[in-house]
Amino acid sequence: MIIGREEEQKILRSAVQSEYSEFIAVYGRRRVGKTYLIRETFGYKFTFQHTGLAKGNTKEQLFSFAISLRDAGYDDCPIPKSWLEAFSLLSNFLKNSTDEKKVIFLDELPWMDTSRSNFISAFEHFWNGWASARKDIVLIICGSATSWIINKVINDHGGLHNRVTQQIALQPFSLRECEIFAQSKGLEMSRYQIAECYMVLGGIPFYWSLLEKGLSLAQNIDKIFFSKNGKLSNEFNQLYASLFKSPEQYINIVTALGRKKAGITREEIMTATNQQSNGALSKVLDELEYCGFIRKYNGYGKKCKQAIYQLIDNYTLFYFKFIQQNQNNDEHFWSVSIDSSMHRAWSGLAFERLCMAHTQQIKAGLGIAGVLSNVYSWRKEADEYSSGAQIDMLIDRNDQIINLCEMKYSLTEYAIDADYEKSLRNKKAIFIDTTKTRKAVHLTMVTTYGVRRNTHSGIVQSEVTLDDLFL
């Protein structure tokens, strides 16, 4: 059963109904469910399907391609000596197919592009010289190496320029989709537990599939990450190696970003990683953004050149914070630290990231889903005239209102005390004074269970709770 993915399924199914041949590129990070989506949508029935070999050389890739043709019904298929010959064999096989729409699924396509194999030129020739001239072909390519698909296919300036008719950048699950997934597995989890699990795993379906019935959330995390044979204990290096051919520079950048909660500028990245400001750095940053590891945002009132880059991938941040530093090899690390100050500090920051990933749900919770708005962060450094202030989420609305969002993660209703009320008043005043905004500024609390009513809670104009994030 496919959970969510309605729009993606609609794109795939509509391709079969098209009066022309369609070329669809599906990409996204490792374990996000790309192959599962395609196979389930088409009921595992393709005219031809093939998966590239991880780390296979050209000869091995071509042999494997011939085996897939034989599996599809080309009984006497010879072993091709080049990719031109391989795609010629595929063309001949498809000509003889009686399928009304010939659906071709090439999975892990980047793995087929081995050194000096001339794969791309042969692939271009197959589509441009044969498939696109017909009306009965649906070609679906897929791969975790998002950077390869973006650079070699979607943004190609050669033979594949503008040839992709549809592209699907498959995103992680939302909280609501994770809740449905957990229910489908029979996991007894409250929304509070689902949120905390999301703060560790993100919305990656494969990671969620590792959760076991009968274990508490803490026990599951211990088993997945910290046990001797934990299935995600070595995921970090595999994750980046699967996406990027030279993962070291990507890891260097996310490591630098992982040290700064609010993110850093391009210049600060260059300083932290000893990289030059050139096209190569831009390419790495763009690819990390495509894959959903980082986000690029402009501070409120700032120019594009002052953009901030922030690490937002939950798994990577959890790895840096806990797995990389787990030098004692404690297999019950998470269970024993559940009430520690370290856990509380992490959960507060992780909840902020969860909120950042659900800005559309926050807008819906505020009743402004239909109002044109932009989400920013804002900060002002302290100077001789005033103290500093930082706002991690600011919703600038076209109806002349700005929501300054404060995010707090707690087991019960969040109680605002006198000191925090003063801090909120100062933050709001500094923002208004510094930006000179003429819009109404509303303080908004995003919390797990709401704000407790007391003598200090009147400063809050609007609230969003954890339940709203599941919309």
pTM for the structure as a whole = 0.91
pLDDT at 201 over 90: yes
> Residues 223-231: contacts with CB within 8 Å, 24+ apart?
225/318, 225/322, 225/323, 225/334, 226/323, 226/326, 226/330, 226/331, 226/332, 226/333, 226/334, 227/331, 228/331
Q: Which residues have a Cβ under 8 Å from the Cβ of 56 and sit 6 or more positions away?
A: 64, 111, 114
- 118/150 Cα distance (integer angstroms): 18
pLDDT digits (tens, 9 = 90+) for 397-429: 999 999 999 999 999 999 999 999 999 999 999
| Paired residues of 443 in beta bridges | 404
pLDDT of residue 304: 65
Q: Which residues have a Cβ under 8 Å from the Cβ of 146 and sit 6 or more positions away?
A: 27, 28, 29, 243, 287, 290, 291
Task: Give the chain's end-to-end CA distance (angstroms, integer).
Answer: 21
pLDDT at 245 over 80: no
**% residues pLDDT > 70 (the chain):** 99
Both tokens assigned to 300: 């409120």
**% residues pLDDT > 90 (the chain):** 76
| Total Cβ atoms within 10 A of residue 282 | 11
| Paired residues of 401 in beta bridges | 440
- 443/124 Cα distance (integer angstroms): 54
Q: 115: part of which helix (H) or strand (E)?
A: none
CA angle 17, 23, 25 (to 5 degrees): 115
